[in-house]
Every structure is written in C-alpha cells, then in structure tokens.
Amino acid sequence: MRKTLAICLTCVAFISQTFARVHAGESLQDWLDAEEKISEFIPKLHTLGDEYPNDIEIQLGLGFLYAKYADTRVFSDIDQYEKVLTIDPNNKAAWAIKAKLICWRYTGKRIMLLDDLESVIANARERNVEEYRPYKNSDLYFWFKEEGSDTVVIKDFDLAVRQLRQKLDEKVPAVLATLNRGQSKDPENAFYNYLKAHLYFVLHEKEKALKEIEEGAAKKYFSSYVEEINKAKARVLQEAKFPQPHRDLIISMRSPFEDFLNLGIWKRGLADLGKSYEAQGDFKNAEKVYRLTITMAQHAQRESIYRPLGLDVIGRRHLEKLQKKMLNKDDKMPAQEKKILGQSFLERAKYIIIVGLCGILIISFILLLRKKASSRGKSRAT
C-alpha cells in the first residue's frame, strides 16, 4: 500500500522518474536491488540522525532519503526538514525541498481525486446509474464521509464535484503560505515562481500562472539545490556505511527539474495558453508564452549534469511556427486590404511630414522674431 501510494503521488505530481545514470553497465535489477536495500536501511539511518542531532547535512540528507524510500507515516520527511529549519531557520535547501513536497503532494492529490470522481461519475452516467457509493477506506470515501455516518452515497453528481473542489480549495492558502515563506528566504530564486505557476495551472488560474512565469523568467538565478541535497545524501550513506555498489547508484539518482517544467507547467496549461492566443490572433502574447518557455528550460538546464531534455527546443519550434504563420498571414492578405493599409500608411506619413514642416516653420518664425528684437535693442542702445 505504501509503495502504491508513493507511486501514485509521484506520477500525478509530475515528479520525474528519469535519472542520470553515471555508471556504465548497470541493469534495471541493479537499481531495484539498490532501492530495496536502502528501504531496509531506513531504521539504521534514523539512528544515525539521533547520533548527529545538530548536523545540518546529516538531517538534510535524511529528509531526502525518507521522502524517497521510507514510509513517511513512520519517518516523516516534512518533520525531518523541520528539524533542519529548527537548527537553521534560513536554510534555503530545506525550505526549497519542503515547499516542493507540499506543493507537489497537494496538486497530485487534487488531480487524482478530481480525476477519480469524474471518472466514476462518467461511468455511472454511461450505465444509467443514479448513485455512486465509494468503497470504504478509499480516498473519495474519506473526503465525502460525514461525521456520525459510515455510509457515503453520492446522488447529485454535479454537486459532488463542486463540493470536492471546495474542500480541496480550502487547502490552497496553506500551500501558498509555505511557498511564500520559502520564497521570502530566497527571493531572487525563480524556483518558487515556477512552483506557484504549476499550482495556479492546476487551479485553472492561467493568468496568475503566466504572471509567476514572467516574474521567474526575469530572475537570473535558479536553483532547486540538487547539489546540496546530493552532497547531504552521500554523507548520510557514507556515515551509515551503506554498502557498495548500491551506494553509488543511490547517490547518482537525479530527478531533472526541467521534466517537471515540461509536465507540470508546459503540458499542464502553458502550451494550451499559447495555442489559445494564436487562435485569437494575439500573436504578441503567443510569442511571449513561447519565449518564456525557452527561458524556463534554460534556467533548469543550468544545474543539470546531463544533456537538456528539450523543453527549450519545443519552445523554439512553436516560436518558429508562429513566425511563419505571421509571415504567411501577411502574404495571404487580400490585395484590397493591402491597398487600404498602404493608403492608410501613406496618409499617416503625409500627416507626419506636414506636422513636421509646420513645426519647423513655427520654430524658424520664432527665431526670426527674436533676432529682429535683438537687433532693435542694439540699435537703441547705440
């Protein structure tokens, strides 16, 4: 159950399972063996944390390993990052990972619940069933269960969707508060803007999402603190004497943030926003969307240890197609429309020239009057 839940949350929250493999020749079984071994090692790692209660690097590394390999109901990764922040309230890496986990888990849960509900409703309507009873202990059962009742019966399907959205919306302020708190510790880092953009796209608030992307893209600095986390992870495994070759495999695993930008922002809403602008003929804003996409990708690529995943290439392709579309639109413009535009341009040009000449004449006339007045003054003085 723990593994299934972790996989669901990870996939729905768009956490990439693509890793940089720095060792040649390893097989899938090697990776599975390494992950099984680290899962068995978690209790020993927890003991290590007790031995180094004030060591920020050890506590930070444990937070990552708990999130990835432990049952977080027993070994809480969020609590672990809180330990780091108790030692150092301004630790940027701890704030970033904590904010990322809270944001992704919320959006993952939201997407999964709404998709599940809409799926069962569609199925019920297809079969002409007038009610739906969630299984006990299912997520939908938990969200719709009322105090004092063990039975959940959903009859008004549209109302059920609205109620679920409302309950999920109640969690948004707490998520935003965490993101804002982390951003206050690291205000020049575009990382938080991109997390917020993802959140807003999931909430279908596209304009807010675009604003966050613009603010993030304008910042020169981006970091998801992969190097700090990787160093902390390596330190924990070394201190715990985690065996080789599993240690190197666990250390080498990386989740590229560019993949999150692709799945969590581009495909979650930014691509559709660009298409929408194009359909409206608003090429200026469509161009802005594609240029922002390129900038985001380049931000994430600065901390990559492997070749780019290609989100910037996607942005460039859309930009090139847009530019061709704009040229084709000009070429296909009806002759009469071109004539009208040409005449309009000539009329504006004539107007500008006339106004300019009038301005020159007025200035010349004023200078001439001043010169005559000056000459008269000199004659009188003589």
Please determine, for residue 276, whether its predicted confidence score (pLDDT) is greater than 70: yes
Q: What is the pLDDT of residues 211-243, one digit of tens each?
A: 999 999 999 899 999 999 999 999 999 999 998
Instruction: Please write the tens of the pLDDT for every residue from 178-192.
Output: 999 999 999 999 999
Average pLDDT on 118-138 reads 88
Say if residues 217 and 300 touch (Cβ distance below 8 Å). Answer: no
The confidence score (pLDDT) of residue 136 equals 83
Report the C-alpha gap between 117 and 134 in whole angstroms. 9
| CATH assignment, 2-19+27-252 | 1.25.40
Gap between the Cα atoms of 290 and 162, Å rounded? 33
Higher-confidence residue: 345 or 136? 136
> Which 3 state secondary structure label does DSSP give 41?
helix
Handedness of CA 135, 137, 138, 141 (dihedral sign): positive
Is the alpha carbon torsion for 185, 191, 196, 202 positive or negative?
negative
Environment class of 334 (CB within 10 Å of its CB; exposed 0-12, middle 13-18, buried 19+): exposed
Closest CA to 212 of 227, 195, 187: 195
Give the phi and the psi of residue 154 in degrees, each rounded to 5. Answer: -105, 115
Instruction: Determine which of 103-117, 133-147, 252-266, 281-295 has the lowest per-residue pLDDT on average.
Output: 133-147
Structural domain boundaries in the chain: 2-19+27-252, 257-331
The overall pTM is greater than 0.85: no
Angstrom distances, CA of residue 88 to CA of 107, 139, 160, 166:
28, 36, 44, 36
Q: Distance from CA of residue 354 to its chain's centroid? A: 53
Q: What is the mean pLDDT of residues 92-109?
A: 96
Among 131-135, 162-166, 356-360, which is the least confidently predicted range? 356-360
pLDDT at 275 over 90: yes
- pLDDT for position 374: 55
Give the mean model confidence (pLDDT) for residues 141-155.
84
Q: Is the peptide bond before 173 cis (omega within 30 degrees of 0)?
A: no
* Backbone CA torsion sign across 321, 322, 326, 327: negative
> What are the angstrom distances between the C-alpha of 232 and each of 13, 74, 185, 239?
24, 21, 20, 11
State the pLDDT at residue 130. 87
Name which of 142-146, 174-178, 259-263, 316-320 the model is least confident about. 142-146
Q: How far is Cα 322 from Cα 245, in angstroms, rounded to an integer?
A: 50
Confidence of residue 340 (pLDDT cuts 50, 70, 90): very low
Task: Name the residue with tokens 């956490």.
Answer: 15
The dihedral sign for the CA sequence 55, 60, 61, 63: positive
By the 10 Å C-beta count (0-12 exposed, 13-18 middle, 19+ buried), 228 is classed as: buried
pLDDT confidence band for 356 (50 / 70 / 90) = low
Q: Are the C-beta atoms of 197 and 213 separated by less than 8 Å?
A: yes
Q: Quick one: tokens of 324?
A: 């061709």
Distance CA 317, CA 331 (A): 21
